[in-house]
Amino acid sequence: MSEILLQIDGKEVAAEEGTTILVAAQSVGVSIPTLCLHEKLEPYGGCRVCSVEVESRGRSSVVAACLYPVEKDLVVTTRTEKLDRIRKSLLEMMLAHAPDSEPLLELAEEYGADKDRFEKEASFCIHCGLCVRYCTEVKKANALGFINRGAKKEISFIPEIASKECWDCKECFELCPTSALQAAFVLIEALTAPPQPTTKSCHSCG
Amino acid sequence: MDSGKIDQIINKHNADAGSLIQILLEIQNENNWLPKEALTRVSETLAVPMSRIRHITTFYKTFSLVPRGRHEVHVCTGTACHVRGAERVLEAVEGVTGVNAGETDPDLNFSVETVGCIGCCALGPVVVVDGEYHGNILPAEITKVLQDKK
| pLDDT surpasses 70 at A205 | no
Predicted confidence (pLDDT) per residue in A106-142, tens digit = 999 999 999 899 998 878 889 999 999 999 999 999 9
The ipTM (two decimal places) reads 0.78
* Smallest CA–CA distance from A147 into chain B, residue: B55
**Contact at CB, A145 and B54, closer than 8 angstroms:** yes
Residues on chain A touching B50 (C-beta within 8 angstroms): 142, 145, 158, 160-161
* Smallest CA–CA distance from A151 into chain B, residue: B59
**Contact at CB, B55 and A198, closer than 8 angstroms:** no
Confidence of residue A6 (pLDDT cuts 50, 70, 90): very high
Q: Show the domains of chain B with their CATH numbers.
A: 3-59 (no CATH), 71-149 (3.40.30.10)
A158 touching B (Cβ < 8 Å): yes
How high is the pLDDT of residue A200? 45
- Residue A110, min C-alpha distance to chain B (Å): 35
Confidence of residue A83 (pLDDT cuts 50, 70, 90): very high
Amino acid at site A113: A
What is the pLDDT averaged over residues A2-19? Answer: 92
| pLDDT surpasses 50 at A201 | no
Give the 3-state secondary structure of A162-196. Answer: HHHHHHHCCCCHHHCCCCCHHHHHHHHHHHHCCCC
Residues on chain A touching B55 (C-beta within 8 angstroms): 145-147
Question: Given B49, B66, B108, which is nearest A204 (Cβ)?
Answer: B108
**Contact at CB, B55 and A142, closer than 8 angstroms:** no
* Smallest CA–CA distance from A137 into chain B, residue: B49
- Residue B48, min C-alpha distance to chain A (Å): 10
**Contact at CB, B66 and A144, closer than 8 angstroms:** no
Distance CA B147, CA B130 (A): 14
Confidence of residue A180 (pLDDT cuts 50, 70, 90): low
Q: Tell me the CATH architecture of domain A3-36+50-78.
A: Roll (3.10)
DSSP codes joined into one string, chain A: --EEEEEETTEEEEEETT-BHHHHHHHTT-----SS--TTS-----S-TTEEEEEETTEEEEEETTTPBP-TT-EEES--HHHHHHHHHHHHHHHHH-TT-HHHHHHHHHHT--TTSS-----------HHHHIIIIIS----EEEES-GGG-EEEE-HHHHHHHGGGT-TTGGG-SS-THHHHHHHHHHHHSPPPGGGSPPTTT-
Higher pLDDT, A67 or A57: A67
Options 3.30.70, 3.40.50, 1.10.3470, 3.30.420; CATH of A130-197: 3.30.70
**Contact at CB, A142 and B66, closer than 8 angstroms:** no
Amino acid at site B19: S
pLDDT averaged over 10-residue windows placed end to end, chain B, 150 residues = 88 94 94 93 95 95 90 94 94 93 91 92 92 92 89
A166 touching B (Cβ < 8 Å): no
Domain limits, chain A: 3-36+50-78, 80-120, 130-197
Q: How many residues does chain B have?
A: 150
Helix (H) or strand (E) holding B129: strand B127-129
Residues on chain B touching A142 (C-beta within 8 angstroms): 49-52
